[in-house]
Amino acid sequence: MDIKQTQAFSAINKATEKAQQLGVNANITILDTSGHLKAFLRMDDAFLGSIDIAMGKAKTSMLFRMNSEAVGEFLNPENGTYGMTNTSGGLVGFKGGMAVKAAGEIVAYIGVSGGSPDQDFVIATAGSEL
């Protein structure tokens, strides 16, 4: 079951409210479970460079079906996975990307960028439960 447009806007609205509480200007991306763009919002004054980071976190989470920071553990060069970070057009392995669930089932992936990784994680989490 892939995410519906009303669900996608609901996820973005929940994330936006949390971002406003934290005083963060975030970019928020919703990808379907195959990685195709479903919805996006750049909050006012959010960094332009964070558009692509938000896209990358959601994509990275989707590609490996785990949080973006969990993929990041595999990207640590100390693990010897040289070049993995450049695969699939570039992976983004820090906090802010995760699955979006409805009734316990994964329906999409969300990527958030604009604050600190910890803030982005909290904002994404707010949008991850429909």
From the list 10, 24, 58, 69, which residue makes contact with a second copy (rule: CB under 8 A)? 69
The region of 72-80, 102-110, 120-128 touching a second copy under the rule CB under 8 A is 72-80
Report in angstroms how near the CB of residue 128 gets to a second copy at its nearest.
19
From the list 15, 71, 108, 110, which residue makes contact with a second copy (rule: CB under 8 A)? 71
Residue 17 within binding range of a second copy, rule CB under 8 A = no
Q: What is d(CA 44, CA 109) in angstroms, rounded to the nearest whole number? A: 22
Residue 118 within binding range of a second copy, rule CB under 8 A = no
DSSP-assigned beta bridge partners for residue 129? 101
Nearer of residues 43 and 128 to a second copy, judged by Cβ: 43
For the four alpha carbons of 91, 61, 49 and 21, in that order, the dihedral sign comes to: negative
C-beta neighbour count of 33 within 10 angstroms: 18
Read off the amino acid at residue 104.
G
Q: What is the DSSP letter of 118?
A: H
Q: What is the CA radius of gyration of the chain?
A: 14
From the list 35, 70, 102, 106, which residue makes contact with a second copy (rule: CB under 8 A)? 35
Burial class (CB in 10 A: 0-12, 13-18, 19+), 102: middle
The footprint of a second copy on residues 83-102 (CB under 8 A) is 83-94
Residues forming contacts to a second copy in the complex (CB under 8 A) are 4-5, 8-9, 16, 32, 34-44, 47-53, 56, 60, 62-65, 69, 71-72, 75-77, 80-94, 117
